[in-house]
Amino acid sequence: MPTSASSNADGQVRPKSNRPEVPMATAKNWLREMMLIREFELRCMQAYQDKKIGGFCHVYIGQEAVAVGTIAATEARDPIVTAYRDHGHALARGMDPKHCMAEMYGRIGGCAKGKGGSMHMFDRDNNLFGGHGIVGAQIPLGVGLAFATKYEDEVINADKNGGKSNRVTLAFLGDGALNQGSVHEAMNLAGLFDLPVIIICENNGYSMGTSIVRGTTMGHQISVKSEAYGMEGVEIDGMDVIETYWAMKELVDKVRATSRPIFVDMRCYRFKGHSMSDPRKYRTREEEERYEQGDPIGVLKAHLELRGLTEDDHKEIQREVRATVKASMDWAENSPTPPTSDLYRDVYRERWGPYTGTSEPEMLGGAEIECKFNAIDTTIDRKADLL
Amino acid sequence: MSIATMREIEFRDAVREAMSEEMRRDMRVMLMGEEVAQYNGAYKVSRGMLDEFGPRRVIDTPISESGFAGMAIGAAMMGLRPIVEFMSWSFSLVAADPILNNAPKMLYMSGGQFGCPIVFRGNDGAGGQLGSTHSWSVEGLFSNVPGIKMVIPSNPYDAKGLMKTAIRDDDPVFFLESERLLSMRGEVPEEEYLIPFGQARIARAGTDCTIVAFGRMVNIALEVGIELEKEGISCEVLDMRTIRPLDAGSIIRSVKRTGACVVVDQSWSFGSPGSEVAALVHRECFDDLDNYVHRVHSADVPAPYAHNLEQEYLPNARRIAEAVRSCLYRS
């Protein structure tokens, strides 16, 4: 199977070593998660065509192994931040598909109460710090999350015995973001301050319609980009969830122990267009078919079949994820739209309301809207621990 | 407060005292920026802080505003309360995306899940012959953005009290200092105090004309008040202290008393705090006004280098006095 974008043909992809076997139940769960993301995204495309979803919508089809394999290698307390192709990360991190779908439907039951949309998935309970729409902007944020976890360990909890959390941050970007200045500034800071962050470049070979070699120097081997920032650069086959998991597990353990940042060139392929409006005229159908043969879901399924997964098992998972996604759509459909009074909520944390230009600043008031994601308690002790 | 505890300190000392007190009080507060630690601050605002708090809490960053502003915002999302020094607010423009697109929108975009308790501070405004690129008054540009709070102190007392409030605030605060004011001395009590946001100060009481002023311009407006007193014109000078939230009530109450209003704002006139105040006063005090609101801004040109041109570029005493006389039909 192909392991990298055609334009990366010269790239060195790590040879698969002799990894321990993943327990069947775990691997089966990964298959279920990847199939859930696939089904979720297919239904998103449909809902977008039906104008249930507005704005921009970028689906994750083809890259499921990346979110599932990398996030499986983390602990729930490890912070994660990503770009705008974020549904897969949200689901892999444990966001209820209902809240994810309702967000895209612009409903109050969405993870951000309908204020964020497809590109801005936030989930405080699952330590998902967004979904960010500006290309590359999330990498300085991710480096900041790592800065905060390290600060928590070394300053706030310095006196506490065994108080170190040693959390590892995953910060995802696409290969198109590699040429943003903020990404390089952030990599320099991560290297300079020894921050426990893994910067994962989901290298699907295209920044929108521009193939990597047309926009990026050393596009065939982007892992060298991190060298200048004192960061190890690692290439991983992101089309194989088992390989992704083991390679990432190694890196996560390493960063947890050393607090040194690492850069990952995660080789993958985006089966669909950049966004819903992309006719994909910049690449050939032959190229797409070649990658589709290495579909990460098919690869895992074939692996599990060797270990006894039956066609009935597979159908059962398919039925299950279809039902889950269908339920998420029904739930989203039935979730109320945000009340118009919500327009003015959450602009400021405390009493100053938005500026109306007519009188004294207004106090925020009104009843809290009940949903899974309540506003943060602002009465926390000033010396309290971090999130 | 008793007089015995007052002492005279510089504006820069007041800002430093506020930061240091808050860092002693709350371990989550830290300072980062270019030259803030070993160099003791490009303008000596952070002098001595490295010695007291160490390199983990007073952090020298590379010249990388977009990177370190974004990093600080990520840290704030996680629960830290960073203070980020821009050597000059002019340099914040390369960090426009994190400070305008991330910090003020995070709470809203996340449906209230992730706030951004952060203070961005640094020098703002022209006057040092630094030429066009280094002479920004960012209040016009940045006050346009909902989700931020903007503070612009005019004296050491306010600088300290407002900085302490800024650090304790749960929202992103843009704190605009003036390089021209850093050596200004003023009385500051030794006891702790905080100044709430959104409360203007009547810097000078008067009956004929309200001068609404921001930051350093308050001091020039006060000089004008003394001069015009000799002509029999009684000016009331409002020191707004914060631009967001804007203390509209104090402006309205004052203008209803005086019936005349001049705004002094060192940013450019087009889409500025000054134009916002004028719109507000015209709307709320329409029947009280004897003339339209007069506005004194920096000239609508890039900041020039030559000393005489720069002095003419900025709102100055002559231009403010002319505006007051014109507003009162006394010219």
**Cβ-Cβ contacts under 8 Å for B10 (sequence gap 6 or more):** B156, B182, B183, B184, B185
| A228 burial via Cβ count (<10 Å: 0-12, 13-18, 19+) | exposed
**Do B93 and B129 fall into the same domain?**
yes
Q: A-contacting residues of B 133-152, CB under 8 Å?
A: 146-147, 149
pLDDT confidence of residue A66: 98
**Same domain, yes or no: B269 and B216:** yes
Q: Is the pLDDT of residue B20 over 60?
A: yes
- Whether B195 maps to a domain, the answer reads no
Residues B179 and B243 in one domain: no
CA distance A16 to chain B (A): 35
Domains contained in chain A, number: 1
Q: What is the reported pLDDT for A157?
A: 86
Give, as one character, the DSSP assignment of residue A369: P
State pLDDT tens for residues A327-359. 999 999 999 999 888 888 888 886 555 565 544
State mean pLDDT over B260-266.
98
Q: What is the 3-state secondary structure (H, E, C) of B220-286?
A: HHHHHHHHHHCCCCCEEEEECCEEECCCHHHHHHHHHHHCCEEEECCCCCCCCHHHHHHHHHHHHCC
Inform me whether the pLDDT recorded for A156 exceeds 70.
yes
Condensed to tens digits (0 to 9), the pLDDT of residues B160-186 reads 999 999 999 999 999 999 999 999 999
State the DSSP code for A3.
Answer: -
ipTM: 0.95
Separation CA B188–CA B64 (nearest Å)? 34
Tell me the percentage of chain B whose pLDDT exceeds 90. Answer: 98
- Whether residue A203 lies inside any domain: the answer is yes
- Which residues from chain B sit within 8 angstroms of residue A107, using beta carbons? none
Is residue B100 domain-shared with residue B249, that is, in the same domain? no
Q: What share of chain A is helix, strand, coil (3-state, %, to 5)?
A: 45, 10, 45
Q: Give CA–CA dist B120/B190, Å, rounded.
A: 25
Give a yes or no: residue A132 inside a domain: yes
CATH classification at residue B31: 3.40.50.970
Q: Which of A235-249, A353-367, A370-384, B205-219 has the lowest mean pLDDT?
A: A370-384
**A249 pLDDT higher than 70:** yes
Q: Which residue has the higher pLDDT, A51 or A375?
A: A51
- Chain mean pLDDT for chain A: 87
Residue from A349, A377, A383, A387 whose CB has the most chain B CBs within 10 Å, to mutate: A349
Is it the case that residue A374 has pLDDT exceeding 50? no
- Could B110 and A122 be called an inter-chain contact, meaning their C-beta atoms sit closer than 8 Å? yes
How far is it, in rounded angstroms, from Cα B211 to Cα B225? 9
Predicted confidence (pLDDT) at residue A297 exceeds the cutoff of 70: yes
Inter-residue contact A4 to A267 (CB < 8 Å): yes
Question: CB contacts < 8 Å between A and B, how many?
Answer: 210
Task: CATH number of the domain at A170, please.
Answer: 3.40.50.970
Q: What is the DSSP string of B84-150?
A: EEEEEGGGGGGGHIIIIIITTTHHHHTTTS-----EEEEE-S--SS--STT---THHHHTTSTT-EE
B163 plus B276 within the same structural domain: no
* DSSP strand pairing (B209-213 vs B235-239): parallel
Q: What is the pLDDT of residue B3?
A: 58
Same domain, yes or no: B83 and B232 = no
Whether residues B26 and A383 touch (CB distance < 8 A) is answered with yes
B95 in the same domain as B220: no
Residues B127 and B219 grouped into a single domain: no
CB contact under 8 A, A134 and B101: yes
Do B166 and B226 lie in one domain? The reply is no
Q: Residue A150: is its pLDDT beyond 90?
A: yes
Residue A362 lies in a domain: no
Answer whether residue A361 shows pLDDT above 60: no
Domain span including residue A276: 18-339
Residue B101 CA to residue B90 CA, distance in Å, equals: 17
DSSP string, A229-252: GT-EEEEEETT-HHHHHHHHHHHH
Q: For residue B312, is it within any domain?
A: yes
Contact assessment for residue A246 and residue A216, using Cβ atoms and an 8 Å cutoff: no
Containing H/E element for B54? none
Q: Encode B70-94 in three state secondary structure.
A: HHHHHHHHHCCEEEEEEEEHHHHHH
Query: Is residue B194 included in any domain, yes or no?
Result: no
pLDDT at A12 > cutoff 50: no
Per-residue pLDDT reduced to its tens digit, A73-121 = 999 999 999 999 999 999 999 999 999 999 999 999 999 999 999 999 9
- Max mean pLDDT among A11-15, A305-309, A357-361 falls in A305-309
- pLDDT by residue (tens digit) across A219-245? 999 999 999 999 999 999 999 999 999
Q: Distance (Å) from the C-alpha of residue B292 to the closest C-alpha of chain A? A: 18
Distance from CA of A79 to the nearest CA of B (A): 9
Question: Is A384 part of a structural domain of the chain?
Answer: no
Q: Would you tell me which residues 3-62 of chain B have a C-beta closer than 8 angstroms to some C-beta of chain A?
A: 25-28, 30, 56-57, 59, 61-62
Let me know whether B245 and B276 are in one domain: yes
- Is the N-terminal amide bond of A23 cis, ω within 30° of 0? no
B24 vs A348, residue with greater confidence: B24
Residues whose CB falls within 8 Å of the CB of residue B289, separated by 6 or more in sequence, listed in order: B255, B259, B260, B261, B281, B282
Query: In which residue are the tokens 């106090």 written?
Result: A363
Spell out the residues 6+ positions from residue B173 whose beta carbon is closer than 8 angstroms to its own.
B118, B119, B120, B148, B149, B150, B151, B166
Confidence category of residue A6, pLDDT binned at 50, 70, 90: very low
- Predicted confidence at residue A351, as pLDDT, reads 52
Number of domains in chain B: 2
Q: Average pLDDT of A361-376?
A: 34
Residue A86 lies in a domain: yes
Do the bridges between strand A169-174 and strand A80-82 make them parallel or antiparallel, or are there none, so unpaired? parallel
Residues B180 and B208 in one domain: no
Among B163, B189, B215, identify where a domain stops.
B189
Q: How confident is the model at residue A159 (pLDDT cuts 50, 70, 90)?
A: confident
Confirm whether B312 is a catalytic residue. no
Average pLDDT (B304-316) is 97
> Helix (H) and strand (E) counts for chain B?
12, 14
Q: Do the domain assignments include residue B57? A: yes
Q: How far is A269 from chain B (nearest CA, A)?
A: 29
- Which range has the worst mean pLDDT, A14-18, A379-383, B229-233? A379-383
Do B247 and B171 share a structural domain? no
| pLDDT band of B331, cuts 50, 70, 90 | confident
Domain that holds residue B218: 201-327
pLDDT at A381: 35
Decide if B65 is catalytic. yes
The pLDDT value recorded for residue A350 is 63
pLDDT digits (tens, 9 = 90+) for A184-221: 999 999 999 999 999 999 999 999 999 999 999 999 99
| Full strand arrangement of the beta sheet holding B58-60 | B58-60, B29-33, B81-88, B119-123, B173-177, B149-151, B242-244
Taking the Cβ of residue B105 and every Cβ of chain A, the question of whether any pair is shorter than 8 Å is answered with no
CA-based nearest residue to B124, from B285, B298, B286, B2? B298
Mean pLDDT of A6-29: 68
Mean pLDDT along residues A310-326: 98
Is it the case that residue B1 has pLDDT exceeding 70? no
Question: Is residue B281 in a domain?
Answer: yes
Report if residue A363 sits inside a domain.
no
A253 domain-assigned: yes
Residue A218 lies in a domain: yes
Residue B183, in any domain of the structure: yes
Could you tell me which residue, B331 or A372, shows the higher pLDDT? B331
| Boundary residue ending a domain (B189, B209, B224) | B189
Task: Give pLDDT, residue B2.
Answer: 55
